[in-house]
Amino acid sequence: MQPFLAGLAFPESARWREGALWFSDFYTGRVQRVTPDGACETMLTLPDGEQPSGLGWLPDGRLLVVAMRQRKLLCFDGHRIDVYADLSRHAPAACNDMLVDGLGRAYVGNMGFDLPARAPFEPTVLLLVMPDGQIRVAADDMHFPNGTVLTPDGRTLIVGESYGQRLTAFDVGDDGSLRNRRIWAQLEGKGVGPDGICLDEEGAIWLASPVSREVLRVREGGEVTHRIATPEQAVACMLGGADRRTLYVLTGRVMVTPEQSRAALSGRISTVRVEVAGAGLP
């Protein structure tokens, strides 16, 4: 891996959009954008110490941001931040990653239990926020739904269940509902817990695994074709660059408090050149 960007608190939720990598540095409250030449800028900072996580864009270009602790979905039009949807009555714990499809439907995960307080594990729900603001339960009995991808045809949604040690697939209905739940890849026994994920042109998934400190490329059925070790916990990855063959790997170190993470600034982004390009974005 090659060093790319350092001095971050805890980078997460990587997205490739219009020639740049977007990500949340959630212990600083910032959503940032960095170009392949390393030029990094802060696009917005959430107020009151809120932590941004999942990112996505509506069809009109407005940015949606998951506010983790408030359990809200925020909307940024380039000038102001508004509440797009309040998820607090539906998500039992801090919200995390999100996918927004081409129609503006947002699939939002949550931890399900108070992980920082070391509460016992609890299964949870994957939420669907419709463009009209309606909130639905898209899937239940999810074991820490996290990174999510959509196939280029918009018909299959794949979710990384961190505590389930698996990638789970669903068929996507015309109304955004999820059906035909199935295991896309079972990772138990491989020492892997998926966090952020991305899809390549061959239909394989790159996933970041914090517990094993690596990124892996996995095919449907569970075959692992590549494993790349990381010096710290790998929390997200994204294929980008001009030819979409640069794998951006986001790593960080979990500290006791956000203040310690901001002081340490041990988060970083590294790059790896890969053979298969990223899949088309939804």
Binding residues: 12, 96, 114, 146, 195
Do 232 and 265 meet the contact criterion of CB atoms below 8 Å apart?
A: no
Do 200 and 239 meet the contact criterion of CB atoms below 8 Å apart?
A: yes
Select which of 60, 195, 200, 243 is catalytic.
Answer: 195
d(CA 53, CA 73): 10
- Residues annotated within a binding site for substrate: 96, 114
Residue 97, amino acid = D
Question: Would you call 195 a catalytic residue per the annotation?
Answer: yes
The alpha-helical segments, DSSP class H, found in the chain are 258-264
Nearest Cα neighbor of 144 from 215, 73, 199, 193 is: 193
With a CB cutoff of 8 Å and minimum separation 6, the contacts of 268 are 3, 4, 5, 6, 7, 8, 11, 232, 250, 251, 252
Catalytic residues: 195
